[in-house]
Amino acid sequence: MTSAVVALSLVGCGGGSSTADGGNSGSSSENASKPLVWYNRQPSNSTTGELDKEALNFNKDTYYVGFDANQGAELQGQMVADYIAAHKDVIDRNGDGVIGYVLAIGDVGHNDSIARTRGARKALGTGVEKDGDIDPSPAGTNTDGSSSIVKDGKIDGLDFTIRELASQEMKNSAGATWDAATAGNAIGTWSASFGDQIDVIVSNNDGMGMSMFTAWAKENKVPTFGYDANSDAVAAIAEGYGGTISQHADVQAYLTLRVLRNALDGVDVNTGIATADEAGNVLEEGVDYEYNEEDRSFYALNLAVTAENYTDFMDATKVYEPISKEVNSETKKVWLNIYNASDNFLSSTYQPLLEKYDDLLKLDVEYIGGDGQTESNITNRLGNPSQYDAFAINMVKTDNATSYTSLLK
């Protein structure tokens, strides 16, 4: 009994109680067995999408937390198609019988971005099959409908032709993806040459969507659809933003820290997740999230946010009621990074939520913001992993898990 208690306290002692000087209890092998959660960017091959099982199984307390990319992508596509059908009398701005849309692509190597591009093209009938699935490549400019990457589509029950007029990856010259400023410039270029043909804007996220909305679409009354349900985007629905998808960031932020908390407490991973913890925190599997054991992955489920329900989503950083109670555990130290400190979703929605949940879960989290371009900008700031009890990692590129795990070995 006594020895078990000693062993347990040793495992946790990399945290607040460790001294700054030598007496470093955290040997490198000890770091390799500390709880680790990947979040928002699932370790995977950015070309094929194949999961990096080695990274996902780095140790017995390793998990991924994200959301169901395909379910959310289908929902986004459906939301756009439903909007067009519901506004069929006014949607075709120049009356040419073609509903033209432009598409902002976040990152051609990111599975969420790929899924959303496919989801939009599927719902609008504009996807072209390639290797058994819809081609998610940027189409460039296609105002005449001659592209081989997309085709002219139809929505059931409507006479219009649907055309993807243009799409492009929004990457800036320094290499940052999902880049809102680049999207704002793109809509400037597109609208200057074929603005009267643009009836709808679709974006892989709200950061880029809002940039296009404020730069052009709002004034021209062109509905713009994004993803993430950032507070500014939800508020813009009152001003003509078409809609967005909530990826249940509240559930994801909680799960990100909760799996670490559970591992640090040595309790079942489902505590406070599928089964209530002592404080009464619990989620509903199949409604709030899904778990895939083989992929070691928790996926939050998405919800559509439109003119009909947006007032329920005005504060994107609100703690979710079923998981809002403080736990009674010993404080532990967590190192957590955000791949790009200026990513709209991660900095304006996810991090504020993490900061609320870290209090409720008694975790002392050190937040590291990256530049969105290089892994080393972040890993350089994990100089002494022995100071921390657990790690939460958001890679710049989904291929780069070993840049982090090599520091823990």
Q: What's the CA gap between 47 and 37, in Å, rounded? A: 23
Q: Does 310 bind ligand BGC (CB under 6 A)?
A: no
- Using a 10 angstrom Cβ sphere, with 0-12 exposed, 13-18 middle and 19 or more buried, the burial of residue 174 is exposed
Q: What's the CA gap between 151 and 6, in Å, rounded? A: 66
If we measure between CA atoms, which residue out of 116, 178, 226 comes closest to residue 342?
A: 178
Kindly indicate which of the ranges 27-35, 191-199, 276-284, 340-348 contains the residues binding ligand BGC, using the contact rule CB under 6 A.
340-348
Instruction: Rule CB under 6 A: choose which of 15, 34, 41, 234 binds ligand BGC.
Output: 41
Looking at the Cβ atoms of 143 and 203, the one nearer to ligand BGC is: 203
Looking at the Cβ atoms of 111 and 271, the one nearer to ligand BGC is: 111
Q: Does 343 bind ligand BGC (CB under 6 A)?
A: yes
Looking at the Cβ atoms of 43 and 106, the one nearer to ligand BGC is: 106
Q: Does 83 bind ligand BGC (CB under 6 A)?
A: no
Looking at the Cβ atoms of 36 and 183, the one nearer to ligand BGC is: 183
Kindly indicate which of the ranges 73-81, 148-156, 288-296, 343-351 contains the residues binding ligand BGC, using the contact rule CB under 6 A.
343-351
Question: What minimum distance in Å lies between the beta carbon of 240 and ligand BGC?
Answer: 21
**Residue holding tokens 């939520």?**
353
**Residue holding tokens 């189409």?**
139
If we measure between CA atoms, which residue out of 227, 235, 210 comes closest to residue 314?
A: 235
Q: Does 118 bind ligand BGC (CB under 6 A)?
A: no
**Residue holding tokens 């089964």?**
275
Instruction: Rule CB under 6 A: choose which of 178, 213, 225, 298 binds ligand BGC.
Output: 178
Looking at the Cβ atoms of 150 and 229, the one nearer to ligand BGC is: 229
Q: What's the CA gap between 397 and 229, in Å, rounded? A: 23
Query: For residue 290, what is the enclosing H or E element?
Result: strand 289-292
Site for ligand BGC in 346-385 (CB under 6 A): 346
Q: Which amino acid is at 387?
A: Q
Looking at the Cβ atoms of 345 and 404, the one nearer to ligand BGC is: 345
Q: How many residues does the chain have?
A: 409
Looking at the Cβ atoms of 169 and 228, the one nearer to ligand BGC is: 228
Instruction: Rule CB under 6 A: choose which of 18, 40, 137, 302 binds ligand BGC.
Output: 40
Instruction: Rule CB under 6 A: choose which of 52, 112, 358, 389 binds ligand BGC.
Output: 112
Contact 347, 367 (CB under 8 A): no
If we measure between CA atoms, which residue out of 176, 223, 204 comes closest to residue 112?
A: 204
Query: For residue 64, what is the enclosing H or E element?
Result: strand 62-67
Q: Does 227 bind ligand BGC (CB under 6 A)?
A: yes
Q: Does 121 bind ligand BGC (CB under 6 A)?
A: no
Contact 375, 16 (CB under 8 A): no
Q: Point out which residues bind ligand BGC (CB under 6 A).
A: 40-41, 106, 112, 178, 205, 207, 227-228, 343, 345-346
